[in-house]
Structure 1
Amino acid sequence: MNNDLIEANKYVELTYQVIDRKSGQVLTAVEYPLGYVHGVNEILAPSVMTELEGHSEGDIIEVTIDCNAIYGPRDESLVLTDRIDNVPEEYREVGTAILMENDHGATKSFLVTRVDDETITIDGNNPLCGREVIFKLEIRTVRDASEEEIKHGGKVEPGAEITSGRVVPI
């Protein structure tokens, strides 16, 4: 274990859980270490990235986030119930994502939240809307990033095709 601290241009690998503060339920878990170069790309919410600074390998930290501040309050007009016969069979399972388009061509993802013999309910709110969550992060690796890793924002595997982009799970 090294004593490097998380700061700009450090390569960091971590795992995390997103836990509903009220129920204690684990909403999301990333068990395979997620790697990035700190200060080069933001892979998590800015408040989480800020909290990671100054920590080192082996640390476990918890960051509370009010999802209303990120996604706004729940909008009940985005919760729709329809007769199950009106929905194709492949969408009739709780947890299925359905991409819908409005009259103006804008798309929005809805999640199937309830299915019974006669009806199906879909919800266009982000699943974290209205929740307060705890990000529990376990820091697995902290080291100096190579110039190539800094350029690409993460670990560069031999023969891998590099594409740039932001990954923001929350």
Structure 2
Amino acid sequence: MNIGNQKVVSITYKLQEGDKSGATVQEVDSNEPFVFLFGASQVLPDFEVNLMDKTIGDSFEFGIKSDNAYGPIDDNAVVDLQKSMFEVDGKLGEIVKVGNFLPMNDQEGNPLQGLVVEITDEHVKMDFNHPMAGKDLFFSGEIIEVRDATAEEIEHGHAHGTGGHDH
């Protein structure tokens, strides 16, 4: 069975920064493969393009330029927030440290992650760019399973079961 829309795909992969010789960012093995519903906008569009029509046992290697991955670094996504937003009883929470990612919400209440870049007497500088923004990506791996999605998976827009979403 070939990969295409409304197929549940299970893969192993290695993600490297830049190219095949770049630093490893993430590795997913067959013990806990990455499982997703193809065509449901769950992965980068170029990721799907490079897996289209592959089948069980096929290996893959491809790069995705930063503009087609997580985009360039957006200077407007780096902001100074009032330090008082992070204080409890006049003290910074223990998690508020340079280098830590903090769960936050935007003005509409949508969840997002921000990286603490700097802490001053009055502000906490947060970077809300995706951690891989501005970076080219290189993927290599293997297709370990391809199956038809169930009607429920199609309706919900994601894979269910082992490696997928459990309700």
TM bin, normalised by shorter chain, reads 0.5 to 0.7
Q: Does 1:33 align with 2:33?
A: yes
Kept in 1, the 8 Å contact 2:10–2:34? The answer is: yes
Kept in 1, the 8 Å contact 2:77–2:127? The answer is: yes
Kept in 1, the 8 Å contact 2:56–2:144? The answer is: yes
Kept in 1, the 8 Å contact 2:56–2:143? The answer is: yes
Secondary structure of the equivalent of 1:47? Answer: helix
The residue correspondences of 1:32-71 to structure 2 (distance < 5 A) are 32-39=32-39, 41-71=40-70
Shift in Å, 1:133: 0.8
Q: Does 1:142 align with 2:154?
A: no
Q: Does 1:13 align with 2:10?
A: yes
Distance 1:19 1:151, change over 3 A: same
Aligned residue-pair number? 151
Secondary structure of the equivalent of 1:68? Answer: helix
The residue correspondences of 1:110-121 to structure 2 (distance < 5 A) are 110-113=114-117
Distance 1:109 1:37, change over 3 A: closer
Kept in 1, the 8 Å contact 2:69–2:136? The answer is: no
Secondary structure of the equivalent of 1:61? Answer: strand
Kept in 2, the 8 Å contact 1:81–1:122? The answer is: yes
Question: Which residue in 2 is equivalent to 1:88?
Answer: 93
Root mean square deviation, CA, Å: 3.7
Shift in Å, 1:20: 0.4
Distance 1:151 1:73, change over 3 A: closer
Share of identical aligned residues, percent? 26
Q: Distance in 1 between the 2:38 and 2:145 partners?
A: 12
Kept in 2, the 8 Å contact 1:100–1:110? The answer is: no
Q: Does 1:109 align with 2:94?
A: no
Shift in Å, 1:121: 5.9
Equivalent of 1:123 in 120, 123, 127: 127
Distance 1:91 1:54, change over 3 A: same
Shift in Å, 1:42: 2.9
Equivalent of 1:97 in 97, 102, 105: 102
Q: Gaps (5+ residues) in structure 1?
A: 163-170
